């Protein structure tokens, strides 16, 4: 009898772990809105504000859902350089200043490249979205980005 009970304990533990994983919250997504002359578009984004999150970014991912992305928050305006090491998908990178204005758009970055992609101006944020979306939506330097993930001015 004791053996049967001990044999059930690992199964019960596995069921408990499975239940916890199934009910764990999904990655918290926040909405950002990009506004330009006569147009507005929303994206659902993961926010990378901690050094470890920013270092990993979208590395190793093979897909990115349409109108999703990752917003990197560096805490203060500074010159930023990004790269595509270990990144499987091509991305558009939007470099955004503290006021929420896009200063530079780096389109269709090269997967796995270790070439640095500079912000060309002090920025606080970088928004990475699927390659080609900036062009398709007419997103360009001077457009504004807003949402709860961006610190108020």
Dump pLDDT digits (tens) for 104-145.
999 999 999 999 999 999 999 999 999 999 999 999 999 999
Query: Model's pTM, two decimal places?
Result: 0.81
Domain CATH number, residue 58:
2.60.120.1140
Range of the domain at 57: 27-146
**12-66 pLDDT, tens per residue?**
444 433 443 333 344 589 999 999 999 999 999 999 999 899 999 899 999 999 8
C-beta of residue 113 within 8 angstroms of C-beta of residue 75: no
Strand partners, 130: 91
**Domain membership flag for residue 36:** yes
> What is the reported pLDDT for 151?
75
Number of domains observed in the structure of the chain: 1
Check residue 140 and give left, alpha or beta (phi > 0: left; psi -120 to 50: alpha).
Answer: beta
Residue 45: how many other CB atoms lie within 10 Å: 22
* In-domain check, residue 53: yes
**Does some domain include residue 6?**
no
């Amino acid at each position: 009898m004791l053996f049967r009970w001990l044999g059930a304990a690992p199964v019960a533990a596995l069921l408990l772990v499975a239940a916890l994983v199934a009910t764990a919250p999904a990655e918290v997504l926040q909405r950002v809105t990009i506004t330009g002359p006569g147009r507005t578009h929303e994206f659902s984004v993961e926010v990378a504000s901690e050094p470890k999150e920013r270092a990993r970014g979208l590395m190793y991912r093979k897909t990115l859902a349409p109108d999703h992305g990752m917003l990197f928050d560096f805490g203060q305006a500074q010159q930023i350089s990004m790269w595509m090491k270990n990144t499987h998908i091509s991305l558009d990178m939007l470099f955004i200043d503290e006021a929420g204005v896009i200063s530079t758009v780096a389109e269709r970055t090269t997967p796995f490249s270790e070439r640095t992609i500079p912000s060309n101006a002090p920025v606080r944020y970088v928004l990475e979205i699927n390659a080609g979306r900036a062009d398709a939506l007419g997103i360009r330097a001077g457009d504004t980005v807003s949402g709860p993930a961006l610190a108020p001015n």
